[in-house]
Amino acid sequence: MTTTSTEPAHPSTQGSGATADAAFLATIWATLGGDEAALAHASFSAEGALPSVFPVTGMAAASVAAAGLAASQLIAARHGDAPAVRVDRRLASFWFSTSIRPQGWKPAPQWDAIAGDYATADGWIRLHTNAPHHRAAALRVLDVPLDKERVAAAVSQWKADALEAAVLAEGGCAGVMRSLTAWAEHAQGRAVMPEPLLHVAATGDGPKPGWALHRERPLAGVRVLDMTRVLAGPVATRLLAGLGADVLRIDPPTWDEPAVVPEVTLGKRCTRLDLRNADDGATFERLLRGADVLVHGLRPGALEGLGLGAEQRQRLCPGLVDVRLDAYGFTGPWAGRRGFDSIMQMSTGIAHAAMQRLGRDRPTPLPVQALDHATGYLMAAAVLRGLQRRMETGEGSETRASLARTAALLTSRGVHDPSAGFAAEEPDDLAPGTEHTVWGPARRLQPPLQIAGAPLRWALPAGPLGSSNANEGWVDDQ
C-alpha cells in the first residue's frame, strides 16, 4: 500500500499552534500503516485553538489531515502522484461543533430535558437520555417522573458507582466522573491504554474492484453501507460521501436523532430496515453483497446474533472493507459497554481534569464532542486505507476504533492552560450556495480539508432518516 523512503518527513506547519497537529498526525498515520514520507504532503493553516485544557484543535486538525492523506495516497496509487493536503485548523475546529447554518429555522435541541451531569452522594454522574429507551431506563431506576428537579433530588441519594451500575443494568446509559489517575488505575483504563489506536487486520481476497477512482472524485462508484448512530460513524461516512462515495445509511424502524440528522446526513441516502424481519434481513444481505464498505457501530454481538458475524459478512461480500466502532474498547471488563462522547469524557478523566484546572465546581466537558468527531475521521481514514489495500492486493480488511482509545490519544499530551480561542465566524467562512434541506434552506461552512484537485463536494442535501427506499439499490455518484 505504501512506497518506501530513506528520509524521514514531517507535515509542514504554520505557526506554533500546529506543532500538536503534526505530532498527532504522525501518531495516527503510523497507526494506519502509512509511509512516513507521505506526511510531507500535509500542511496546516490558521493560528489559535479551541479553549480547552486539552489540545482539541490539534487532534481535530490531525484527524482531518489523516483522512486527507489517506485519500491522497489512494489517488496516488491509481494516478501516480499524491496531491497535497491542507487543513484549516480553525475550520476543522468549527466542524467539530457543527457545520450547518440553518436559514430561518431551528434544529432540534441537542440534549434531552433530563440529560446532564448530576451530583450524587459521593461525586458526579452523567445521565445520557437522548434516546427514549435510555431516558425511560434512568427514570425507572430513580423511580421519578420526567422532571429534572425530581431527577436531581433522587440522584443525590445514590452513590455514583451504584447508580451507574443500576442504570446500565436497566438498559440505560450513564457515566461516573473519574479522574485521569482513577481511570488509569481502573481495569478498563488499563485494558484500553495498550490497545492500538486502530485495530487493523487483513481478511480474505475479493474480486477485482471496478471503481473508477477519478482523481477529482476518488470514491465515485464506491458503495458504503452506514450502520452507525450519533456521532462518530456518521461523521466518517459524511466525509466519504464528500469524496464521491454512494453512502446508504440504514436505521431501525423507530430510531431518530433529530438534533444531529441535518448535520450528518449530508450527501447520503437514508433508509430503514428491521434486521430481525426476514424480508428486511434478506434486503440487507443483498445490499451487503453489492457493497464495498460497511461502517457499523452496533453493540458487540448484535450482528453475530443476527447471523451476520465477521466471517459471514466476508462470505457475503469477499474483500469487504469493514470498519467497526465501539465506546469503551474491545478488551477489558467494560468491552461492549454503552457509551457516548459525553459519557466517555466523564469516565476517562477529561471532565474532571478540566474542572480542576479551571477551578470549576462541576464537571467541565470539552468545548466540542471531539472524541466523536476525531474518531469519525480516523474511521474515514481507515476506510480509505482499506480501499487502497483492496485495490492493490485484493484483500479485504477489518478495522476497529473506540472512543476510549481516542480519549487516550487526546489526554496523552497532558493538561495545560486553555488558549483564548479563534476569531469569530465570518461570512467568508461559509461555502457558496444554499443547501435546500427538507427542514428549510441552510448554509454550510467551507470544508476544513483541501485535497488538491479533489475538492469535497456533496451531491445530496441533508435529509431525514428513512427517506429512501432500500429496494432502490445502489446509485452512481453524480
- Cβ neighbors of 111 (< 8 A, separation 6 or more) are 130, 259
Residue 9's pLDDT is what? 43
Residue 15's pLDDT is what? 42
Measured distance CA(222)–CA(234) in Å, rounded: 17
Measured distance CA(49)–CA(58) in Å, rounded: 8
C-alpha cell at 386: 482499506
Residue 306: Cβ within 10 Å count: 14
Residue 124 confidence (pLDDT) above 90: yes
* Cα–Cα distance list, 180 to 328, 330, 346, 442 (Å): 15, 20, 10, 40
Measured distance CA(427)–CA(20) in Å, rounded: 28
Per the prediction, the chain carries an average pLDDT of 93
- What average pLDDT does this structure show over 261-284? 96
Task: Provide the pLDDT confidence category of residue 336 given band limits of 50, 70 and 90.
Answer: confident
Measured distance CA(376)–CA(381) in Å, rounded: 9
Decide: residue 360, CB within 10 A, 0-12 exposed, 13-18 middle, 19+ buried: exposed
Residue range 8-29, pLDDT digits in tens: 344 554 444 567 899 999 999 9
Q: Which of 74, 60, 52 is nearest to 2 (CA)?
A: 74
- Length reported for the chain: 478
Q: For the chain, how far is it from start to end, CA to CA, in angstroms?
A: 28
Residue 300 confidence (pLDDT) above 90: no
Residue 222's pLDDT is what? 96
Residue 381 confidence (pLDDT) above 90: yes
Residue 478 confidence (pLDDT) above 80: no
C-alpha cell at 102: 440553518
Beta-bridged to residue 270, according to DSSP, are 249
Using a pLDDT cut of 70, give the percent of the chain over it.
Answer: 95
Residue 11's pLDDT is what? 55
Measured distance CA(478)–CA(438) in Å, rounded: 20
Decide: residue 301, CB within 10 A, 0-12 exposed, 13-18 middle, 19+ buried: exposed
- What average pLDDT does this structure show over 250-261? 94
Residue 406's pLDDT is what? 98
Residue 435 confidence (pLDDT) above 80: yes
Residue 141 confidence (pLDDT) above 80: yes
Pair 224, 237: CB distance under 8 Å: yes
Predicted TM-score (pTM) of this structure: 0.94
Residue range 40-98, pLDDT digits in tens: 999 999 999 999 999 999 999 999 999 999 999 999 999 999 999 999 999 999 999 99
Residue 346 confidence (pLDDT) above 80: yes
Residue 454 confidence (pLDDT) above 60: yes
Containing 69, the helix (H) or strand (E) segment is: helix 56-79
* Cα–Cα distance list, 415 to 16, 52, 54, 186, 402 (Å): 17, 9, 6, 20, 22
Decide: residue 282, CB within 10 A, 0-12 exposed, 13-18 middle, 19+ buried: exposed
Residue 208's pLDDT is what? 85
Task: Provide the pLDDT confidence category of residue 470 given band limits of 50, 70 and 90.
Answer: confident
Task: Provide the pLDDT confidence category of residue 136 given band limits of 50, 70 and 90.
Answer: very high
Pair 80, 424: CB distance under 8 Å: no
Task: Provide the pLDDT confidence category of residue 474 given band limits of 50, 70 and 90.
Answer: low
- Cβ neighbors of 351 (< 8 A, separation 6 or more) are 117, 126, 177, 345, 363, 364, 365
Measured distance CA(342)–CA(116) in Å, rounded: 9
Task: Provide the pLDDT confidence category of residue 6 given band limits of 50, 70 and 90.
Answer: very low
For residue 250, give the DSSP letter. E
Measured distance CA(99)–CA(118) in Å, rounded: 30
Residue 299's pLDDT is what? 79
Task: Provide the pLDDT confidence category of residue 210 given band limits of 50, 70 and 90.
Answer: confident
Measured distance CA(67)–CA(433) in Å, rounded: 25
- What average pLDDT does this structure show over 406-417? 95
- What average pLDDT does this structure show over 232-249? 98
Residue 20's pLDDT is what? 84
- Cβ neighbors of 394 (< 8 A, separation 6 or more) are 205, 206, 207, 208, 319
Residue 410's pLDDT is what? 97
Measured distance CA(52)–CA(371) in Å, rounded: 13
Beta-bridged to residue 212, according to DSSP, are none
Residue 168: Cβ within 10 Å count: 18
E-strand stretches of 327-437: 395-402, 435-437
Using a pLDDT cut of 90, give the percent of the chain over it.
Answer: 88
What are the DSSP calls for 148-216, one per residue?
Answer: HHHHHHHHTTS-HHHHHHHHHHTT--EEE---HHHHHHSHHHHHHTTS-SSEEEEEEE-PPP-----SS
Measured distance CA(461)–CA(441) in Å, rounded: 10
